Amino acid sequence: MPVVDVHTHMYPPVYMDLLRARDKVPYVKSFPDDPAAGDRLVILPAEDTASTSRGRPIGAEYYDVKEKLAFMDRHHIDVSVISLANPWLDWLPSNEAADTARKVNDDVERMCTEHEGRLLGFGTLPLSAPASQVVEEIERLSKLPHHRGVVMGTSGLGSGLDDPALDPIYAAMEKHEQLIFLHPHYGLPTSVYGDRASDYGHVLPLALGFPLETTIAVARMLLSGVWDRFPKLNVLIAHSGGTLPFLAGRIESCIAHDAHLKKEGKLEKRRDVWDVLKNNIYLDAVIYADVGLKAAIDASGADRLMFGTDHPFFPPLEEGEDEWLSVKLNSQAVRSTFGDDPKTAEAIMGGNAMRILRLSS
C-alpha cells in the first residue's frame, strides 16, 4: 500500500517571486545587517521584528520540487498532495487575486505533470476577489487533472467561514466534489500569550494558537448551519481537527444548553457535530502522539484519517538527521496505535487517501 502525504506545503516559484518583490508581510528578504541569517520568510505580523530572529529561514525546501521529491524518497512517501503554504492569497488586492490564483495553480499543476504519479495538488482560491471569480477558479480547478480540492485559511472572504457570502463558494465546492483542506494561519490575538510570550519561541502560537484557530473556525461553520445547507460539503481539517475531536462533546453540550439558540428555533433539525465529524469531515494525522490520534479516530473514524508531514515546516534543529523527528512522531503514532492492526495503519498511511482523493494505484 502506498504512503500518501496529504499535508505538505510548497511556495511554488510563481508565488516566491511575489514574496521576494514585497517588503510588507508576507515577504521573503535577506537583511544586509545580518547576512549570515540568509533569506528569511516573514508571514506573521508578530515575526516582523527588527531582530536576528526575524521570520524564519527559508531555503530551497520551500520552493524547489526536487527538494520535495528528495524528502519524499528519504521518508518513503510515494505520493504528496502539495498545498500552497499560508498565508495563501489572502493578502492580495482584489483586482490581482484571480489572475494570481490561476498562475499559482497552473504552476502547481505543471510540477505535478512533470512528476506524474508522485505529486497531486490542493489549489488556492482568490478569496479577496468577488465571489463569482472564486467560483470560476473552483470550476477551473475541478478540471485540472492533478488537483483534488483547495487549501483554505480561516478568514474566508475576510470575516470567517460562517459568512453567508461564502455560500456560492461552498455550493461550487459541493457541486464539483472538491475537498476543502482547512488550515490555520492567523492564530489567536498575541495578548493571550502574555508578556513573556517571546521567551517561549514559536510554541504558544503554533502548538495552541493554530489548533484553536481551526477549532473556532469549524465551530462557527457548524453553528451557522453550513453543513445543514451543504450536506455534502467535505472538509479535511489540518492537525487532526485542531482540538475539535476533544471538544466536540463540550460544543454539543453548550449548544443544547443555550437559551438563545432554543428561542430562535435553532436547536431543531440541526446536524450535530458528531454527524458532521463522521460524514463531512476528514482529519489529517498530523498530531505527533497516539493520544490525539485516538481522539481523532474516535471522533471521525479510522477510515477518515490521512497521514501528513507538514513539510517543510518543523525541520530538525540539528543538521544531518536523515529522518525528520516531526515525520517520525506522526508515523510512530500510527504504528503504536495500530500495532496489532496493520491494515488500518496502512489505510491511514495511504489507503484512505487513495480512496478519498481518487488516486489510481
Rg (CA), the chain: 20
Name the binder of 146 from ligand URA, Zn ion, none, CB < 5-8 A by kind: none
By beta-carbon proximity to ligand URA, the closer residue of 137 and 310 is 310
Host H or E run for residue 15: helix 13-20
Annotate each residue in 70-89 with x if it binds ligand URA (CB under 6 A) or - if it does not, as one string. ---------------xx---
CB of 171 or CB of 208, closer to ligand URA? 208
Q: Pick from 223, 303, 313, 325: which binds ligand URA (CB under 6 A)?
A: 313
The helix/strand/coil state of 240 is: helix
Cβ pair 150, 124 in contact under 8 A: yes
The verdict on 61 binding Zn ion (CB under 5 A) reads no
Nearest approach, Cβ of residue 151 and Zn ion (Å): 9
State the cell numbers at 194.
Answer: 502574555
89 versus 302: smaller Cβ distance to ligand URA: 89
| Binding-site partner at residue 86 among Zn ion, ligand URA, none, CB < 5 to 8 Å by type | ligand URA
CB 284 within 8 A of CB 305: yes
Cell numbers found for residue 21: 518583490
Q: Which of 5, 78, 284, 310 binds Zn ion (CB under 5 A)?
A: 310
Instruction: Among 127, 310, 337, 347, indicate the residue that binds ligand URA (CB under 6 A).
Output: 310
Site string for ligand URA, 177-216 (x = CB under 6 A): -----------------------------x----------
Answer with the entry of ligand URA, Zn ion, none that 40 interacts with (C-beta below 5 to 8 A by kind).
none
- Chain-centre distance for alpha carbon 335: 23
By C-beta, is 43 or 305 nearer to ligand URA? 43
Residues 314-333, interacting with ligand URA (CB under 6 A):
none
Cα–Cα distance, 319 to 267 (Å, whole number): 55
How many residues in the shown chain lie near ligand URA by CB under 6 A? 7
Shortest Cβ 116–Zn ion spacing (Å): 25
- Please report how close the Cβ of residue 305 comes to Zn ion at its closest, in angstroms: 16
Stretch that binds Zn ion, among 150-158, 166-174, 192-200, 310-318 (CB under 5 A): 310-318
CB 283 within 8 A of CB 305: yes
Three-state secondary structure along 42-104? Answer: ECCHHHCCCCCCCCEECCHHHCCHHHHHHHHHHCCCCEEEEEECCCCCCCCCHHHHHHHHHHH
Q: For residue 168, is the peptide bond before it cis, meaning its omega torsion is within 30 degrees of 0?
A: no
Burial of 175 (0-12, 13-18, 19+ CB in 10 A): middle
- How far apart CA 108 and CA 82 sit, in angstroms, is 8
Residues forming contacts to ligand URA in the complex (CB under 6 A) are: 9, 43, 85-86, 206, 310, 313
Residues forming contacts to Zn ion in the complex (CB under 5 A) are: 310
